[in-house]
């Protein structure tokens, strides 16, 4: 019997960066986000010969080792191997594990965290581990951020695990607040949004390290930008619940302005030019979906102007795509 999993990627509307220590531990953080119909997929087939075989379709890498040998973290699929070490412990069982992502690393859609969420779900099902959603999300966070030492926040693991529209609060504990948004509002929001791939992928860790350093040093502009992110996440949540989407689009633009205050590495000349072109063509607001420096820009447009914005960005050399929202979080099944 084969175990499958799919973990959704996410778009973050406001609050990104407030989920990174030490800020959320000192002042509390809040992020407004939703999962979308792009996924990390995983497949696990048990085997009885004491061998674990791992394959990444995206990287074109496969490797195998025996269950009774020490797993070496040598730079090849270390994130996957760390998840196996953390969950399996000494009592490892053999299996074939294949993973594939719907977005490249550095896209700003939370793909690396969704990968870990999918791995936790597969191994949880394989090993019959009794984990709640909160426990699974926290475990995915610990594997990526603590065990692997990859800098970043908490939001992506919780977004991918729980799914849907959420207002997530960060403090001594993480609290996921699912939002009940009217279907007509969701449909109209989908019609009004587009993703623009800048053509640049980046390591988010560098941006996060710079941002964290500024918070630790008490940089006034960085701190004010993060506090504004929290406030805007709350205001955008209210706009969504009330169906005030034009206000939502304007607030999205404000969230980008405040986000750029958090680190000079968040934007660059190409992102700024794409943003200016989109606004000139009719976009009401937009922001980079991840830590910054590249990846995707999320734009909000009136439906009557959306095709003009898309044309302007396409002529600029960016790749424009539409998407749908995903209500479900990580899902496993047997095939």
Q: Which residues are catalytic?
A: 156
User: Which residues have CB under 8 Å from 332's CB, separation 6+?
Assistant: 3, 4, 5, 121, 122, 124, 125
Q: Decide if 200 contacts 270 (C-beta within 8 A).
A: yes
Q: How far apart are CA 163 and CA 76, in angstroms?
A: 29
Residue 157 phi, psi (nearest 5): -65, -40
E strand intervals along 171-303:
174-178, 193-197, 283-288, 296-301
E strand intervals along 144-267:
165-170, 174-178, 193-197
With left for phi above 0 and alpha for psi between -120 and 50, is residue 83 left, alpha or beta?
alpha
- Name the β-bridge partners of 56: 61, 99
- Give me the helix-helix angle, 245-259 and 220-242, nearest 10°: 170
Q: Decide if 322 contacts 220 (C-beta within 8 A).
A: no
- Which three-class secondary structure state does DSSP give residue 318? coil
């Amino acid at each position: 019997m084969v175990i499958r999993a799919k973990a959704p990627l996410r778009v973050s509307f406001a609050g990104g960066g407030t989920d990174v220590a030490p800020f959320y531990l000192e002042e509390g953080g809040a992020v407004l986000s939703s999962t979308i119909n792009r996924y990390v997929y995983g497949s696990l087939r048990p085997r009885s010969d004491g061998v674990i075989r791992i394959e990444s379709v995206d990287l074109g890498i496969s490797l195998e080792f025996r269950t009774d040998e020490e797993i070496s973290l040598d730079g090849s699929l270390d994130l996957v191997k760390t998840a196996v070490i953390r969950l399996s412990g000494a009592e490892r069982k053999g299996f074939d594990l294949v993973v594939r992502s719907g977005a490249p690393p550095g896209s700003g859609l939370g793909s690396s965290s969704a990968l870990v969420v999918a791995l936790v779900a597969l191994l949880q099902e394989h090993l019959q581990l009794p984990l709640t959603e909160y426990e699974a999300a926290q475990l995915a966070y610990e594997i990526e951020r603590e065990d692997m030492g990859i800098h970043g926040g908490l939001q992506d693991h919780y977004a991918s695990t729980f799914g849907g529209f959420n207002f997530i609060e960060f403090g001594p504990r993480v609290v996921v607040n699912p939002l009940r948004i009217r279907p007509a509002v969701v449909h109209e929001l989908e019609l009004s949004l587009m993703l623009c791939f800048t053509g640049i992928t980046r390591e988010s860790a560098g941006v996060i390290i710079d941002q964290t350093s500024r918070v630790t040093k008490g940089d006034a502009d960085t701190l004010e930008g993060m506090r504004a992110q929290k406030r805007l996440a709350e205001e955008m949540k209210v706009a969504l619940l009330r169906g005030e989407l034009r206000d939502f689009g304007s607030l999205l633009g404000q969230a980008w302005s405040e986000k750029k205050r958090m680190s000079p590495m968040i934007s660059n000349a190409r992102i700024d030019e794409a943003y200016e072109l989109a606004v000139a063509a009719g976009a009401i607001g937009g922001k980079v979906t991840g830590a910054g420096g590249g990846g995707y820009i999320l734009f909000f447009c009136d439906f009557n102007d959306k095709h003009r914005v898309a044309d302007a960005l396409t002529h600029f050399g960016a790749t424009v795509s539409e998407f749908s929202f995903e209500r479900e979080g990580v899902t496993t099944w047997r095939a």
